[in-house]
């Protein structure tokens, strides 16, 4: 199969045929954003708000929803590695180090615990618990007869060592393997690796089916599982897919699940995530936003998506990859910081990662002030500390982070008894992240068709 050349050819061309709307120009005009990290370049598309985007108007309510289930647990056990290696931060941090930068050396929380979100998807009609990740694009499940291997990918361990969940494990593809054969090979930022054959199966999420979807079956894995999930559903763009030709060894870009759902006419090119506060649940809505009982939707912010060009992934030079925006700034303790930096919105990252000076200033505004602990690359304060009022400013609107969410009282340093804050140091080079702590306080709308991210304030 020939590589997909652009996201626009794949998604919007098909969308135009379905809707009668003219396809978007490809590629978009770009303006380079200076001071990018090593190995990464941010480019701002010009005039990317298109026909699907109406500023300050919330998207329509979707009937295609799927419950999210929070999973608390150890993300990795490798000393000195990235505990959340599947997050966008880990992927870009690894790329930065390869390009001569520092990147993230130790993204972690106390006791190396963090949060991931799972959904129940149907794989050829069979329910399968899978991690939901907006920072990757591939969808795969572990095969029943898989090999769990060590870090060197040679030493074979018991299957239980990879800690996949129980229940259904696919044995084959519903429509058979890809022909000519295509292989999946994914190397995550923390050293995790999954590899295996690729083929076609029906994947159903929220009553929407991606028919004959190209997916992977992992036959060999080096994996830090949670004993609950048995695969990953990636919601990022085609530029981040990891298919490889078995004939040439070259990388082959393909249509991921969400793109396929749109191109087949199942939904409009938008999805949204609402993470519930103080619970272990949330909602994924395909084609619109969820109707959440007891929640009123407030003001709507709309920001252009930014092209995040990763040197090691040539396709990202002109296509969207991660969900990246540029906030207006941050407001804290009656202070407004208006320095502009790109931030990646990522459901796979627990904390918010900010530029060092800004992170230190916000943490200093806690009472008592939070202090930086290099062991965890995080700030800690008294577990009963009083947090400052903190908001990220998007499209002129202040999105407040609930003070309850700013101190992780269940994540205490065993040596000091202090608790970790939700505002972390993203380093001089970044990447900077709006993680779960932010997403708990806003309805996040990924308006792919418009090339914008929308954020809806949530009021209870």
- Of 304, 346, 405, 425, which one is the catalytic site residue? 346
Dist CA 205 CA 285 (whole Å): 9
User: Residue 180, preceding bond cis, omega within 30 degrees?
Assistant: yes
CB atoms under 10 Å from CB of 338, counted, come to 10
User: Residue 407, preceding bond cis, omega within 30 degrees?
Assistant: no
Break the chain down into helix, strand, coil percent, rounded to 5.
Answer: 15, 40, 45
- Of 133, 138, 190, 304, which one is the catalytic site residue? 133
Dist CA 276 CA 252 (whole Å): 37
Pairing mode of beta strands 113-123, 182-187: unpaired
Chain centroid offset of residue 201 CA: 23
Pairing mode of beta strands 193-205, 208-222: antiparallel
Annotated catalytic residue 133: yes
| DSSP string computed for 352-388 | EEE-HHHHHHHHHTSBSPPEEETTTTEEEE-TT-BPP
Annotated catalytic residue 346: yes
Dist CA 72 CA 228 (whole Å): 11
Dist CA 166 CA 31 (whole Å): 48
Dist CA 216 CA 194 (whole Å): 9
CB atoms under 10 Å from CB of 111, counted, come to 15
Annotated catalytic residues are: 133, 346
């Amino acid at each position: 199969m020939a590589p997909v050349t652009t996201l626009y050819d794949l998604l919007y061309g098909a969308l135009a045929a379905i809707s009668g709307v003219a396809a978007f120009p490809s590629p978009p005009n770009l303006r380079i954003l200076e001071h990018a990290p090593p190995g990464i370049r941010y480019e701002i598309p010009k005039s990317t708000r298109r026909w699907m985007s109406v500023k300050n108007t919330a998207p329509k309510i979707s009937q295609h929803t799927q419950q999210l289930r929070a999973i608390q647990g150890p993300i990795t056990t490798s000393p000195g590695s990235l505990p959340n290696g599947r997050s966008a931060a880990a992927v870009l941090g690894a790329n930065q180090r390869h390009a001569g930068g520092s990147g993230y050396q130790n993204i972690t929380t106390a006791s190396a615990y963090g949060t991931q979100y799972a959904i129940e998807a149907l794989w050829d009609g069979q329910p399968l618990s899978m991690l939901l990740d907006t920072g990757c694009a591939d969808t795969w499940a572990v095969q029943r007869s898989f090999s769990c291997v060590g870090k060197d990918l040679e030493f074979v361990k018991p299957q239980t060592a990879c800690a996949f969940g129980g229940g259904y494990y696919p044995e084959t593809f519903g429509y058979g393997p890809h022909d000519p054969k295509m292989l999946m090979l994914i190397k995550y930022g923390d050293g995790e690796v999954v590899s295996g054959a690729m083929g076609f199966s029906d994947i159903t999420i929220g009553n929407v089916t991606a028919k004959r979807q190209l997916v992977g079956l992992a036959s060999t894995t080096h994996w830090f599982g949670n004993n609950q999930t048995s695969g990953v559903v990636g919601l990022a763009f085609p530029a981040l897919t990891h298919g490889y030709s078995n004939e040439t060894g070259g990388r082959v870009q393909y249509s991921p699940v969400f793109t396929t759902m749109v191109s087949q006419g199942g939904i409009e090119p938008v999805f949204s995530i609402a993470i519930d506060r103080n619970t272990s649940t949330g909602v994924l809505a395909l084609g619109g936003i969820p109707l959440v009982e007891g929640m009123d939707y407030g003001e709507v912010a709309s920001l252009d998506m930014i092209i995040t060009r990763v040197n090691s992934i040539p396709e990202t030079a002109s296509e969207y990859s991660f969900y990246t925006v540029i906030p207006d700034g941050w407001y804290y303790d009656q202070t407004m910081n208006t320095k502009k930096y790109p931030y990646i919105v990522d459901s796979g990252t627990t904390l918010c990662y900010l530029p060092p000076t800004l992170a230190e200033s916000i943490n200093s505004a806690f009472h008592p002030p939070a202090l930086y602990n290099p062991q965890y690359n995080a700030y800690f304060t008294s577990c009963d500390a009083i947090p400052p009022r903190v908001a990220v400013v998007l499209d002129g609107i202040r999105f407040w982070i609930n003070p309850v969410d700013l101190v992780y009282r269940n994540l205490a340093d065993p040596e000091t008894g202090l608790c970790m804050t939700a505002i972390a140091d993203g380093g001089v080079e970044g990447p900077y992240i709006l993680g779960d702590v932010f997403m708990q306080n806003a309805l996040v709308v990924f308006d792919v068709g418009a090339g914008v991210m929308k954020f809806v304030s949530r009021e209870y």
